[in-house]
Structure 1
Amino acid sequence: MIDHPISPRCMIGTLLSYRGLIKRLVARDFAARYRGSVMGVVWAVLTPLIMAAVYLFVFGIVFQSRWGAEQQGTFTVTLLVGLVVHGVFAEALSRAPTIVLGNPSYVKKVVFPLEILPIVAVLNALVTAAIGLTIVITIHFALSGRLSPTLPLLPAVLLPLLLAVLGLVYLLSSVGVFFRDLLQIVGLVVTASMFLAPIFYPISAVPDPYRTLLYLNPLTFAVEQARAVVLYGKAPDWLGLTVFTVAGATSAWLGYAWFQRTRRGFADVM
């Protein structure tokens, strides 16, 4: 029985050693989404625009949701930033339970580095988010006539979330092989997470006893900090960002270790 390495150095080495293959798989998966459609990759831009319009109508017009007057930017871009950040979490986790199940040939018939599949899933979610963020920044510039000076700090703000999501994807992609009901459970969690983070409402609107609970959701910190650097021109909370980065890196490694320890049983149940 092959004993797959689980050290953090091996996890980083996986990313570096197979970076060419990872890049090709990300490009292939992105192209496969729109293969055969008339409009092709235009849907990658059109879909978030349509969904944004729907959310804005429901929450901005019907429910007349607002952020405090002391904050800069409009309700439109404030909401969109939250949706884009949540989209990284939602897309990656929604795919996680079927990442290994959907590639049985990689498990049974060929020698393939299965540990890169969760990385590919997270990077695909990041590509989608990059398109959404480009749209948000463009709208923000059109409405305000300026770009936030702290905008270049956005990658540093999103990195901890990406690491945390990678750890969850490693875990769920492994568990999904043995527990097929996981896909339905993850769908419920993803939906609930959208409303248990300050996406459609400001964190200041949440009563104090419940605000602490919302901060247990990793999306809350990521959404708040992304808005700070993209819209408000504020530097991120460096202490919180450091703690979140350490926690995210730990999550990524623990998920990777679990995946490597359990992958030997994949072929037996597929």
Structure 2
Amino acid sequence: MSSTNATPTRPKRIFPKTTGTTALWRHRNVLRVLVQRDLAVKYQSSALGYLWSLIEPMGMAGIYWFIFGVLYAKENALPDGVSYSLYIVSGMFAWMWASSAMSESTTCLTSQSTLIRTMRVPREVFPVARVFARFAEFLAGLPILIAFAIFGGGTFSWNLLVLPAAILVQAMLLTGLAFVLATINVLFRDVQRFMRLVMRVLFYAAPTIYPFAMVLEAEKVPHWVKVLYQANPFVGIIEMHHYAWIPGLGTLSWQLVVSSVATSVVVLFLGRWLFYRLEPTVLKEL
């Protein structure tokens, strides 16, 4: 009687549709520790400490305010009584969160390879921690935003409810991008160098330092470029941040918001799927 030798097969990895969020919640203490460690390490040798998270965006805002607000007087494109300084600061703080989160999440796996191989936690916590750490810096700048709104013609009404929505959409988009960037940078180390150019392009491809209406009203810009420009999810997100303080802009449309929300959800899902799919290969490379 012959016996058949069964060849052991590796069980197929099934993408978990819900356990990603619940796993992060179960390990929220680890996530909190990683965020605190990231902030402590970043500013441990600095005399000013966390103030640098405010000085950098304020310094950049001051430079662009002088160029576009003084030399080129772009206040004319804003509602009466609203200073260009409020517009640029509200956009700059949102952009600095995005820029820092994307840049630092790119290297979050390669720079912590030993910790990743030894800790028994979902690897998603490492890119997510970078997004949350930069969000903590954004929160630290809210008092400055409020001060600029008070003295710069901002509005404190129902429009402020747009701010939590903008933060949520931006967090989803940045988390999805963090998954993608962290993964592909392990496999292709040139990504972190290429990101310098990408970040520069994205900065000028969103209405951070110039009014969104200028793009819509520009006669020399082809219609298809305007459509492609508005498809950039950062355009809708930055405009939501502006609208939270300056509702009189009149450039925030439901189509722009829906486009940013839909893109952010898709990027979040695809980013997490890619992270899970390539996790075995990434761990081998680390």
Given the superposition, is the C-alpha separation of residues 13 and 194 from structure 1 closer, same or farther in structure 2, using an over 3 Å criterion? same
Distance 1:160 1:61, change over 3 A: same
Return the match for 2:243 from 216, 224, 228.
228
Q: Distance in 2 between matches of 1:153 and 1:167?
A: 21
Distance 2:78 2:184 in 1: 46
Deviations, residues 89-131 of structure 1 (Å, cap 9, x unaligned): 2111111221100001123334332111111111112112222
The alpha-carbon distance between structure 1 residues 243 and 144, as it changes in their structure 2 partners (threshold 3 A), is closer
Once superposed, what is the RMSD of the aligned Cα atoms?
2.5
CA deviation digits over 1:59-84, x for unaligned, max 9?
Answer: 22233333525365210010111112
8 Å Cα contact 1:150-1:233 kept in structure 2? no
Tell me, yes or no, if the aligned pair for 2:85 and 2:152 is still in contact at 8 Å. Answer: no
User: Could you tell me whether the CA contact under 8 Å between 2:116 and 2:123 is conserved in 1?
Assistant: yes
Displacement, 1:237? 4.6
2:274 paired residue among 254, 258, 263: 258
Residues 171-207 of structure 1: CA distance to partner in whole angstroms, max 9, x if unpaired? 1100000100001111111111111111222222123
Structure 1 residues 151 and 116, CA gap change in structure 2 (3 angstroms): same
Structure 1 range deviating more: 11-20 or 256-265: 11-20
Equivalent pair of 1:170/1:256 in contact (CA under 8 Å) = yes
Q: Give the stretch that moved more between structures: 111-120 or 66-75.
A: 66-75
CA 1:115–1:2 in structure 2 vs 1: closer, same or farther (change >3 Å)?
Answer: farther
Q: Report the equivalent of 1:160.
A: 169
What is the aligned partner in structure 1 of residue 6 from structure 2? none
SS of residue in 1 equivalent to 2:110: coil
- How many pairs align? 270
CA–CA separation in structure 2 for the residues paired with 1:142 and 1:260: 47
Asked if 2 retains the 8 angstrom alpha-carbon contact of 1:81 and 1:133, the reply is no
Comparing 30-39 with 45-54, which one deviates more in the overlay?
A: 45-54
Q: Does 1:116 align with 2:125?
A: yes
Counterpart amino acid of residue 273 in structure 2: A
1:147: Cα distance to partner? 2.5
SS of 1:151's equivalent in the other structure is helix
Structure 1 segment 233-248 matched on structure 2, within 5 A: 237=253, 240-248=256-264
- Does the 8 A contact of 2:155 with 2:246 survive in 1? no
Which amino acid counterpart does residue 214 of structure 1 have in structure 2?
Answer: Y
Deviation at 1:2, TM superposition (A): 8.2
- Unaligned 5+ segments in structure 2 are 1-9
In 2, are the aligned partners of 1:106 and 1:114 still within 8 Å (CA)?
no
SS at the partner of 2:79? coil
Of stretches 16-25 and 152-161 in structure 1, the one that deviates more from structure 2 is 152-161
> Which whole-Å CA distance do the structure 2 matches of 1:104 and 1:62 have between them?
48
**Residues in 1 aligned to 2:238 and 2:76: alpha-carbon distance in whole angstroms:** 14
Letter in 2 for 1:158: I
